[in-house]
A and B are shown apart, each in its own frame.
Chain A
Amino acid sequence: MRSTFFGLEIAKRSLFTEQSALSITGHNVANANTPGYSRQAANRITTPSLEYPNLSKSVAAGQVGTGVDILNIYRIREQFLDSQFRNESKTQGEWIGRSDMLAKIEAIINEPSDTGIRTVISELWTAFQDLSKAATPDAAIAARKVLAERSVAVAEAFNHQAQQLTELEADINESIQIKAKTVNSKLEEIQLLNGRIKELSVLGDVPNDLLDQRDLLVDEISKLVDVKVTETDRMYTLTIGGNVVLDATNNITPLDVANPVVTGGEIKGLLDARNIDVTNYKKQLDLLAETLATGETKMKLENDYTVPNGVSVRDGNGVVYNAGMVLPKGTEIIVNGLNGLHELGYTMNEPLSTGAAFFVSLNGPITASSIRFNPDLLSNPSNIASSMSKFNDGTTDKVVIGDNSLAVMMSNFGNALITFTDASGTINTTIEGYFRSVTAEVGVKSQTSKNNVKNATVIVNQIDGKRMSVSGVNHDEEIANMMMFQKAYAASARVLTTMDEALDLVINRMGLVGR
Chain B
Amino acid sequence: MTCPDWRSLRSRRDLDPEAWEIGLEHFDGCDRCRDRALAEEPTLMFRRLPAPGVGADEVAAMKQAVAVLRRSSERRSGQRRSEKAGRKLPAMLRAAAVAALVLGTAALQGTGRGSLPRDGAAVEPLADLGASSRPLGRFADERPFSDANLSAASPAALSIEDLPLVEIIDPAYSSMVQVVDDEISLVLVLPNDV
Answer yes or no: are A and B bound together in one complex: no
